[in-house]
Amino acid sequence: MSRTVYVNGDFLPEEDARISVFDRGFLFADGVYEVSTVLEGRLIDNEAHLIRLQRSLDELKMGCPVTKDELVELQKELIRRNNLVEGGLYLQVTRGAADREFGFPRDAKPSLVMFTQVKNLINSPVAEKGLKVISVPDIRWQRRDIKSVGLLAPALAKQAAVDAGADDAWMYEDGFVTEGSSNNAYIITKAGVIVTRHLGNEILHGITRRSVLALAAENNITIEERPFTLEEAADAAEAFVTSATTFVTAVVSLDGKQIGSGKPGPLANRLRQLYIEQALKS
Ligand code: PDD
């Protein structure tokens, strides 16, 4: 069945949706995006996603064609029109269509596109098994805190993982893990401490990261926000990733070497449970 998507003011069947070949998102990856979780037909942590969207827009001096309140109404309408119960809502703002010049066009109107994706997020078979990850050099640009649609490097990283028979890739720089191809990366030391890279320009400031770290703190789990090496990861008791579409998902091997028991660990499982319970209550 065809989805209804949203494109610049219209809700349309996906096959009828059109965007200009001159759109700067297409020509320059001159755009930003957000993916919000939908559970039981409701948006989860959406306010935080929209705040991050505004930050990404501000960093790129880009406008948005609608206000935040209008955007929320459009998101809800799109979920309603697609009868989406569980999955993700993707939204993208680009600088709009203009003749191809590198500098910002003076007269372009930003484009807004949204679509939904049905996904089993809670009963995810991948989460039950845990992820096998490989490590790849982080070849992305230096402003990874901006949620830019320029995703070629993460797409290459993910494909390298698939080609190697793994599920995902952890990217590293100067020997330290930055993050996963589309998620934040964590290890749990043998002493039960959660270690994840501190916020900065080197990683995306994950919305799920924030919620999960808050839950961990409430449950008296020690957190260290600092870079960790691939060696530390290989030697960890557990490892996991977080994102809007994976929640908390255990990582069970790195570059073919089993992490901990080689199965999703108890603390990762507990954090996943806590996160899901909180999301369903919100
Ligand atoms: N990706 N780091 C990167 C590089 C990401 O692309 C994402 C999200 C995250 C996690 O952020 P959050 O918890 O706010 O989802 C971290 C989304 C899900 C995507 O591109 O599909």
Pick the last residue of a domain from 69, 96, 118: 118
Q: Which pLDDT value is given to residue 43? A: 98
270 and 131 in a single domain? The answer is yes
- Residue 90 sits in a domain whose CATH number is 3.30.470.10
The gap from C-alpha 99 to its chain's centroid, in whole angstroms, comes to 31
Listed in sequence order, the DSSP H helices in the chain are 24-28, 46-59, 68-81, 125-129, 152-163, 207-218, 230-234, 266-281
Distance 107 CA to ligand 1 centre (A): 31
Mutate which of 34, 35, 91, 196 for ligand 1? The one with the most ligand atoms within 8 Å of its CB, which is: 35
Which protein residues are within 6 Å of ligand 1, measured from CB?
Answer: 35, 179, 182-184, 204, 206-209, 242-245
Q: In this structure, are 69 and 207 located in the same domain? A: no
User: What pLDDT does 23 receive?
Assistant: 98
* One domain for residues 62 and 178: no
Angle at 55 between CA 53 and CA 58, to 5 degrees: 110
Ligand 1: nearest atom to the Cα of 154 = 4
Three-state DSSP state, 215: helix
Do 208 and 90 have their domain in common? no
pTM: 0.97
Residues 268 and 131 in one domain: yes
Q: Give the C-alpha separation, 276 to 4, whole Å.
A: 27
Same domain, 68 and 151: no
Q: Are residues 145 and 254 in the same domain?
A: yes
141, 269: one domain: yes
Chain mean position to CA 72: 19
Residue 242 Cα, ligand 1 centroid: separation in angstroms? 8
Nearest Cα residue to atom 16 of ligand 1: 183
What local confidence, expressed as pLDDT, does residue 1 receive? Answer: 66
Helix axes 266-281, 207-218, angle to 10 degrees: 110
Atom of ligand 1 nearest to the CA of 181: 4
CATH number at residue 204: 3.20.10.10
Domain count, the chain: 2
Per-residue tokens: 198:
């501190």
Atom of ligand 1 nearest to the CA of 45: 14
Count CB neighbours of 252 within 10 A.
23
| 76 and 94 belong to one structural domain | yes
Q: Are residues 90 and 139 in the same domain?
A: no
Domain end marker among 118, 143, 169: 118
Residues 55 and 160 in one domain: no
pLDDT mean values, one per 10 residues, the chain (282 residues): 94 98 98 98 98 98 97 98 98 98 95 98 95 98 98 98 98 98 98 98 98 98 98 98 98 98 97 98 92
Range of the domain at 151: 125-281
**Could you tell me if 265 and 172 lie in one domain?**
yes
**Residue finishing a domain among 118, 135, 170:** 118
Catalytic residue among 147, 190, 257, 281: 147
147 belongs to the catalytic site: yes
Is residue 145 within 8 A of residue 205, CB to CB? The reply is: yes
pLDDT for the residue numbered 144: 98
The whole-number pLDDT of residue 180 equals 98
